[in-house]
Structure 1
Amino acid sequence: MNSQNSRSDKILVVDDSPDNVFLIKTILEEEGYTVSTAENGASALAQLEASPCDLVLLDLMMPGMDGYEVTRRIRGNAAMQQYIPILLITAHDAPNVAKGLDLGADDFIRKPVTVDELLARVRSLLRLKHSIDERDEIARQREDFVSRLTHDLRTPLVAADRVLMLFQQGALGALSPQMQEVITIMARSNTNLLSMVNTLLEVYRFEAGRKTLAFQPVNLPQLLEEVVGELTPLVEAKSLSMNLVIAENTTISEIMGDRLELHRLFTNLIGNAIKFTDSGSVNVRLSSAFASGKSDESHTSENSTASDYIIIEVEDTGPGIPPEEQATLFERFRQGSHKSSGSGLGLYLSRRIVEAHEGTIQVKSEFGKGSVFIVMLPVKS
């Protein structure tokens, strides 16, 4: 047995030839590997879904579902969260090994296989598998640590926020004007930090798969009116104007969604528009779109389908976004060049919320002339 094997790696051998399967299985088992077999592609996929392995040895030419299709399905299966290397086994006259590699296979070996070459390629791909698994485990541990840290940070920040509020309300005694000014600055800084911690916590909940959304009917015009009302003091403080426009011919105003997360989404988008706009206005528009190509005038709520969308646009007259920043705007920790840019998490979280509702978000911006963020949310009957 190979002393390099620190654990019994599980290998799936897929080949329609019993002789080939027996040969390869014998070689691998003598090296201490745990080997399972499948005589066709469908059986291989069923085994992988039931019990993932560490490596797949896959015959390229099989009747029915060939190795190309098996490779494509393995790489396209989102349920297989762990990476599984694929080693293609091909005859000398196999026409297009490159096609298999392009579909996601990692290496190939030609028949008839030699013991040394087979074992060398198996060891190489298993090293790759172990390296990726270790990297993913480190990433998971880091995300768990950040999630716990941000959760623990919220407690003292919330407590500080309440104490500062008591000071501002005079519940702990009268304050001099100088102290009022200091407390106001402290309260604002604490609120910003608490908001950042909350955003970071939500981001890692999404990334760790621990975010559970509570879907229910949500009246979007009502929700937008609520968000706009809550943010009006910020608009007034900057002497901006803010308008909420519901298109007259919008016949669909309700979707199935998580109201709390949608509230967070629009608060972030509208809040950003206010923050980056020094003069002019912030406009929020709601309308409908239909995949059938029908206009709002001819479309009624009775014939809505899963292809119908509600569109929410948040437009500002701010400085706009440089073209080179627009491509990465919704990525994690991508801070803009503007002096008011934050941690780079707000728009990333917004994208995750939109995607959780099976919608899309995009930005259109002309540098120096403002931006418009466009959210499309599907209406499901």
Structure 2
Amino acid sequence: MKDRPSQILAADQETDTLLILETILTEEGYSVNTSSYGKEAIASINAHPPDLILWDVMMPDADGYEVTYKIRSTPQLPFIPIVLLAPDPSIPSTNGLELGADDFLWKPIQVNELLARVRNLLRLKHSLDSMREMALAREDFVSRLTHDLRNPLIAAQQMLTLLGQGKFGTLSPPVKEALQTIAVSNDNLITLVNTLLEVHRFEAGCKPMAITTFDLYKLIKEVVKEQEALAVSKNLRLIFETQQQFFRIQGDRLELRRVLTNLVSNAIKFTERGQVKITVEYKAQSVSIHVEDTGPGITESEQNAIFERFRTGNQKGAGSGLGLHLSQRIAKAHSGCLEVTSQLGVGSIFTLCLPRNQNY
């Protein structure tokens, strides 16, 4: 099957220039649409994005700079190379390039120069499109695989619970212990699968946010109480300090609880002695939750990459590398941020910063 020809949109106020562009590019096998009206051309881009755009900088109803900015500010559009056309070299190219244009051509159009730049930019476009398609296919595979894994894992966990309760007969102590080990491993797999699903939903933009107004102090207290047993088992002090014991905030309570649980449990997990301290800092426009530990610390290179997906770090007992990535996604979905500061041999501080009032 023959590949479709690359689609090129040329927009210029001069009909002679449009005719020249159409003639040259059509002879090279490209499919060319032309327009001398900027707004009409913009509507065409939104409806049927072309593979490359040639746009007159001086277009009266939509100049090249304005159009470049609009296209680059529209996340729904795929990457489209933009070549701005200028009447003479006295018009600087830097303004357009800073706004996101990929190249500049000055009139009168030189055939060889035009074709060389069009070929190069289309080669880049097709390469990026191929990479994007591969990434989407990979994400779709992970999503489907995760869905297919989740149900049998949950069924296995239910069966393990029934076996452990002696529903199918009395079990000897060694068998009970073995079943408990299997159940813990299976539960860890379920957690990993659920986290993978959540990451995929956030990255695909299909994760609904259940925004409510709730008491932040109460939420943190719940997390601290839940993690207290783990801290005690490691002889660690788990401290929660705040300036006030009642503070209402807007957000998805369940997702923010997930973030705080992940931060506190990680701090306990990687701290062998000392303490884990949670403090809350209230500001006029934001609230910051700091989770500070006395663990081994994180190197600067690891700090720069710690929120990447599947980044596990070098600490003993590192997990899947998804927890912090998902936590950062959740923070960004709340128009907030998640940051880390650390010093080797001293400890680390993870800070979740959220806006006090935010319309989602």
**TM-score of the aligned structures, taking structure 2 as reference length:** 0.89
Match of 1:364 in 2: 341
Aligned to 2:311: 334
Question: What is the aligned residue count?
Answer: 357
Quick check: 1:281 aligned with 2:275? yes
Aligned to 1:347: 324
Q: Quick one: percent identity of the two aligned structures?
A: 48
How far is the alpha carbon of 1:345 from its aligned partner? 1.2
Q: Distance in 2 between matches of 1:212 and 1:282?
A: 32
* Correspondence for 2:253: 259
Matched residue, 1:220: 216
Q: Distance in 2 between matches of 1:316 and 1:175?
A: 42
- 1:13 corresponds in structure 2 to 10
- What's the CA shift for 1:172? 3.5
Q: Could you say what secondary structure the match of 1:239 adopts?
A: coil
- Distance apart, 1:47 and its partner CA: 4.1
Of 124, 149, 152, the match for 1:153: 149
Give the alignment partner of residue 55 of structure 1, picking from 52, 56, 72: 52
The question of whether the paired residues in 1 share the 8 Å contact of 2:288 and 2:353 is answered with: yes
Structure 2 residue matching 1:56: 3-state secondary structure: strand
| Alignment gaps of 5+ in structure 2 | none
Give 1:128 deviation, angstroms.
Answer: 2.6
Q: Does 1:206 align with 2:183?
A: no
Task: Determine the C-alpha separation between the residues in 1 that align with 2:180 and 2:273.
Answer: 25
Shift of 1:185: 1.8
* CA distance in 2 between partners of 1:200 and 1:20 (Å): 52
> C-alpha distance in 1, partners of 2:231/2:63?
62
**Which amino acid is the alignment partner of residue 276 of structure 2?**
V
Deviations along 1:95-151, whole A, 9 cap, x unmatched? 422443343222333321244543443343233322222221111111011011011
Distance 1:376 1:263 in 2: 14
Residue 89 of structure 1: aligned partner: 85
The aligned counterpart of 2:293 is 316
Q: 2:33 aligns with which of 32, 35, 40?
A: 35
- Cα offsets for 1:65-107 (capped at 9, x unmatched): 6433432332233232x11011222344234224433432223
Question: Once the 2 structures are TM-superposed, how far is the Cα of residue 63 of structure 1 from its aligned partner?
Answer: 5.1
Which residue of structure 2 lines up, in the alignment, with residue 296 of structure 1? none
The whole-number CA distance in structure 1 between the counterparts of 2:310 and 2:34 is 43
Secondary structure at the counterpart of residue 295 of structure 2: coil
Residue of structure 2 equivalent to 1:162: 158
Contact 2:11–2:18 at 8 Å: present in 1 too? yes
Aligned to 1:303: none
Q: Which residue number corresponds to residue 169 of structure 2?
A: 173
Whether the aligned pair in 2 keeps the contact of 1:257 and 1:357 (CA below 8 Å) is yes
Deviation at 1:192, TM superposition (A): 1.7
Q: 1:215 to 1:97 in 2, by over 3 A?
A: same
Structure 1 residue 11: deviation in Å? 2.3
Other-structure match for 1:247 = 243
Contact 2:18 2:34 (8 Å CA) reproduced: no
Moved more, 215-224 or 70-79: 70-79
How far 1:326 sits from its partner (Å)?
0.9
Q: 1:32 to 1:11 in 2, by over 3 A?
A: closer
Q: Secondary structure at the match of 2:305?
A: coil
CA distance in 1, matches of 2:297, 2:167: 43
**Residue 123 of structure 2, aligned match among 114, 127, 144:** 127
d(CA) in 2 for partners of 1:46 and 1:96?
27
Partners of 1:238 and 1:192 in 2: CA distance = 20
Residue 51 of structure 2 is aligned to residue 74 of structure 1: no
8 Å contact from structure 1 (residues 269, 314) kept in 2: yes
> CA-to-partner distance for each residue in 1:228-276, whole Å, 9 max, x for gaps?
222222222222221222313x76x222211221121111111111111
Unaligned runs of 5+ in 1: 291-307
With 93-102 and 138-147 compared, the bigger mean Cα shift is at: 93-102
Mapped partners of 1:171, 1:280: distance in 2? 43
For residues 140-181 of structure 1, what are the alpha-carbon distances to aligned partners after superposition, in whole Å with 9 as ceiling and x for unaligned?
Answer: 111011011011111121122222223333333333232232
Q: Per-residue deviation at 1:359? A: 0.6
Provide the residue aligned with 1:104 in structure 2: 100
Using the alignment, how far apart are the partners of 1:376 and 1:38 within structure 2? Answer: 48
The answer for the alignment partner of 1:304 in structure 2 is none
RMSD: 2.5
> Taking structure 1 as the reference length, what is the TM-score of the superposition?
0.85
Query: Does structure 1 conserve the Cα–Cα contact (< 8 Å) formed by 2:10 and 2:32?
Result: no
Alpha-carbon distance between aligned partners in 2 of 1:287 and 1:165, rounded to the nearest angstrom: 43
Check conservation: 1:218, 1:259, Cα contact below 8 A. Answer: yes
- Among 240, 246, 262, the residue aligned to 1:268: 262
2:231 matched to which residue of 1? 235
